[in-house]
Amino acid sequence: MKRAIIIGATSGLGREIALNLLHTGWLVGIAGRREDLLKEIALSSEFEGRVEYERIDVTTADAIDAVERLVSKLGDIDLFVNVSGVGFQNPTLDPSIEKKTFDVNGYGFMRMVDWAYNYFKGKKRKGQIAIVSSIAGTKPLGTAAAYSATKRMQSHYLTALSQLARMDAVDIQFTDIRPGFAATDILNPNKHYPMMMTKEYAGYLATRAILQKKRVAIIDWKFALLTFFWSLIPRCVWERLTFVKN
């Protein structure tokens, strides 16, 4: 039986990926800060004996101990998925919001993927590391500077690890999922987002990309088209575009 860990599985896309893997027959370790939501999945009779969980806050130093406890409950892992993340519109550049974003999407992210890299390297075994970054990493948004920058960093970081894996002769497959707008708690419920996807649809496409071991997957095709066209926009033009503030 294949085994996976999903960090950030309490809600939204991470929860969907965890449920999809469970429906496919995987043994899954789930993590996040909201223990009640972790328990809800773990106690479901549908998945009896196939879910382990640990409360993990990726911003804390003891997060690694908790990940290791989770792995020892599963025995071993084939796949490590980091979905944990926060996102805020912050047009006033409130420093506490910018810091929170970097703590979770920056340091927390690094803590998780570095651990996974060293795990597979240490075990000298084949493995897969998947992350959920964002299309905001492909072009930055003025009202979400920290979010855009940390998402760009995540994609870059994974590329660096992929090169490092070749240098280390470690057989790790890397998958970078870049969703467009999906209806989850991370978005402002009072705001309209274009081409909004349901979390089930985005979660299905994310899981499929992971199982197909895609290197990069923009979700969905409409956002893939959008990011293609905006990649053609020169920076001097992009910087003059005005997006509506919250």
Ligand X SMILES: NC(=O)c1ccc[n+]([C@@H]2O[C@H](COP(=O)([O-])OP(=O)(O)OC[C@H]3O[C@@H](n4cnc5c(N)ncnc54)[C@H](OP(=O)(O)O)[C@@H]3O)[C@@H](O)[C@H]2O)c1
Q: Which residues bind ligand X (CB under 6 A)?
A: 8-14, 32-34, 56-59, 83-87, 104, 108, 132, 134, 179, 181-182, 184-187
* CB neighbour class for 83 (10 Å; exposed up to 12, middle 13-18, buried from 19): buried
Cβ proximity to ligand X, 82 vs 170, nearer residue: 82
CB of 92 to ligand X, least distance (A): 21
Cβ proximity to ligand X, 38 vs 161, nearer residue: 38
Which of 24, 27, 33, 220 shows the shortest CA–CA distance to 135? Answer: 220
CB of 134 to ligand X, least distance (A): 4
CB of 204 to ligand X, least distance (A): 13
How far are the Cα atoms of 72, 143, 170, 177, 190 from residue 67, in angstroms, in the given order? 9, 33, 21, 22, 35
Rounded distance between C-alpha atoms, residue 6 and residue 58, angstroms: 12
Cβ proximity to ligand X, 170 vs 180, nearer residue: 180
CB of 223 to ligand X, least distance (A): 9
What is the greatest pairwise CA distance in the chain? Answer: 56
Rounded distance between C-alpha atoms, residue 57 and residue 98, angstroms: 18
Cβ proximity to ligand X, 4 vs 58, nearer residue: 58
